[in-house]
Amino acid sequence: MMIQRLFQPFLSIMVPLLLFSLLLGLPGDPGRLWGPAYLALAPELGLLLGLLALWARRAGPPRLGGILLLSLLTLPLVLLRLADLGAQLAAGRPLQPLFDPVLLPALWGVLAGSMGPVPLALLLCLILAGLVGLISLAYRRMVRPLATVEGRWLAWALALGLPLLSLCGLPGAQPFSQGSVAAIIDQMARVAEGRRMQQALAAALAHDPVTGIPAALRFALLKGRPLVLIWVESYGQSALTDPRHGPLVSTRLALLEQELTAKGFHMLSGLVDSPVLGGRSWLAHGTLRAGIRQEQPAQQGLVLAAGHVGLVAALQQAGWHTQAIMPGLSQPWPEGTLWGFYRVLNAGALGYQGPRYGWSPMPDQALFAALDATQPFAAGPAYLELVLTSSHAPWTPLPPWRDGADGLADGSTYGPPDRPDYTSMAGAYALSIDYSLRAAGDWLARSLPDDALVLMLGDHPALGWIADPKAAGHHVPLHILSKDGALLQPARSWGLVDGMLPAADGPAIPMENLLGLILGSYSGPKPGGV
């Protein structure tokens, strides 16, 4: 009889208790989701249950208002756990509470670009309302048995037993190190780590590699030649090492080498270590421009506020017409002026009116066609920085390749895109890299001036579930090309190899070191004079 009287409150308490434990004990590492330390009860919840039982003994179980208050207090902890797990899934790193909130507008832009802002807003509201409703329902079921003596005794037994199991490392209870209190302490430690990162950045800002070279000597060995920097979105070494993607991407690089060599190009390739993985491309861009590693948006803000000269501003001061070709920009970009860009062009400014493909506002092939229409090299020595977006997540749908130039620049050649297939993103990833590299190679062979120097590299690798980064880490390929073989000689000391395929085990240049290498290799007296 006693067992029957305990069975009903046992079920009423244990089911929501396990649900709360799974929500509040969510590990930041997705690989631990099915581990025994996670699939257990949280000891903190046992203590909370004991306190609620004491309250129920004096005043009865909490009513609706109390349950709603408990739910609203619990919601931030659940959201913190979900955000930490989401940061690992989306960026391959833990949540950084000091820096990550400023990424929310960019995250909104990516998601809204895929599904639309109104459906996204409705979905987020439904998720929040669903979480509050689920938590409230669970609390209501959990506190109902506390009106009985048996329910209160069971709650006190759990309040004593779960912490003991956790402290002794026995099955059935999550370790305290995985609990909500530990998660809050961990986030506070990450805030302190972020402040130390900011202090280290302030020290790095004291050294500007540009100002260490007299203005008259900067980039003197380029002698006013065109300089082109091409960023290939999500192009990591893992696109070459992952067996799902390597054959296709390696074949494309081999074809590019063959085709460009036939057009008179010389080329070197190697590896660069990016500061980011899976996203936040602008931090990789800023790292190269400033010569300072930027892993968080706040770091880039400090770099810009400090008036650091950097690559683009130095080129502008030396007489280059500095242009940013960034189809992904959807809003004004005042940072462009701070970096030193004389002109910034997005998809609208380039005259593209065709459909979007996935996140990308403009297919790369259309980008290059529209760029040609602006005659970017006509006004004297030009620095072009292009961002190719067709290989941006979610890689679906992909734009079709067009053999003719008609209708490319304005997008009239494109019909309605296919429906996105989010079940095959990993397969579409390699196709998108292949497309972007093909578009870049086609433009180089068609439009690049004979005396130009080109640097083409990835901004960051894709996430691990798209392209396995275990062997490649944050490494991205770098290609340096020119029809003038003498222009590549200064870069041979960088540890690069001939051709378009980087050495798999070659050294990776830290991306923040590229500015110093470019300055050091291409500055100095011109041949035959000072």
| Calpha distance 153→428 (Å, rounded) | 57
Residue 208 lies in a domain: no
In a domain, 215, yes or no: no
Count of C-beta atoms within a 10 Å radius of residue 503? 13
Instruction: Identify whether residues 279 and 407 lie together within a single domain.
Output: yes
What residue has token string 């590990």? 27
| Residue 205 in domain | no
Length of the chain: 530
Nearest CA to 289 out of 208, 214, 357, 234 is that of 208
Among 294, 422, 303, 315, CA closest to 358? 422
From 162, 193, 224, the end of a domain falls on 193
Contact 236, 436 (CB under 8 A): no
CATH of the domain at 512: 3.40.720.10
Same-domain pairing of 249 and 159: no
Any domain includes 264: yes
User: In this structure, are 157 and 257 located in the same domain?
Assistant: no
Q: How many CB atoms lie within 10 A of CB 215?
A: 10
In this prediction, residue 459 carries a pLDDT of 95
Residue with tokens 């500095």: 322
What distance in Å separates the CA atoms of residue 312 and residue 322, rounded to the nearest whole number?
Answer: 7
- Between the two ends of the chain, the Cα-to-Cα distance in Å is 101
What DSSP assignment string belongs to 265-287? -EEEEEEEE-S-SSS-HHHHHHH
- Bridge partners of residue 357, in order along the sequence: 360
- Contacts of residue 482, Cβ cutoff 8 Å, sequence gap at least 6: 265, 266, 451, 452, 453, 454, 488
Q: How many domains does the chain have?
A: 2
Measured CA distances, 405 to 163, 252, 365, 441, 442 (Å): 70, 21, 9, 15, 12
Cα pseudo-dihedral 63, 64, 66, 67, rounded to 10: 110
The residue from 193, 218, 244 where one domain ends is 193
- Domain span at 55: 2-193
| Residues 271, 157 share a domain | no
Whether residues 161 and 278 fall in one domain: no
Share of the chain residues as helix, strand and coil, in percent rounded to the nearest 5: 55, 10, 35
Residue 528 lies in a domain: no
pTM exceeds 0.75, yes or no: no
Residue 421 sits in the same domain as residue 299: yes
pLDDT value at residue 528: 45
The per-residue pLDDT string of the chain (530 residues; one tens digit each, 9 = 90 and over) reads: 455 555 566 666 677 777 777 777 776 666 566 655 556 667 676 666 667 666 666 666 667 777 788 788 878 888 887 887 777 776 666 777 766 776 677 677 767 776 788 888 888 889 888 888 888 877 777 777 665 656 666 666 666 666 665 556 555 566 656 667 777 777 787 777 777 777 777 777 777 778 778 888 889 888 889 999 999 999 999 999 999 999 999 999 999 999 999 999 999 999 999 999 888 899 999 999 999 898 877 778 778 767 766 899 999 988 899 999 999 887 778 788 889 898 999 888 888 999 999 889 999 999 999 999 999 998 889 999 999 999 998 998 999 999 888 889 899 999 888 888 888 888 899 999 999 999 999 999 999 999 999 999 999 999 888 887 676 689 999 999 999 999 999 999 999 999 999 998 889 999 999 998 999 899 876 544 43
247 and 99 in a single domain? The answer is: no
pLDDT confidence of residue 172:
56
Indicate if 255 and 169 belong to the same structural domain: no
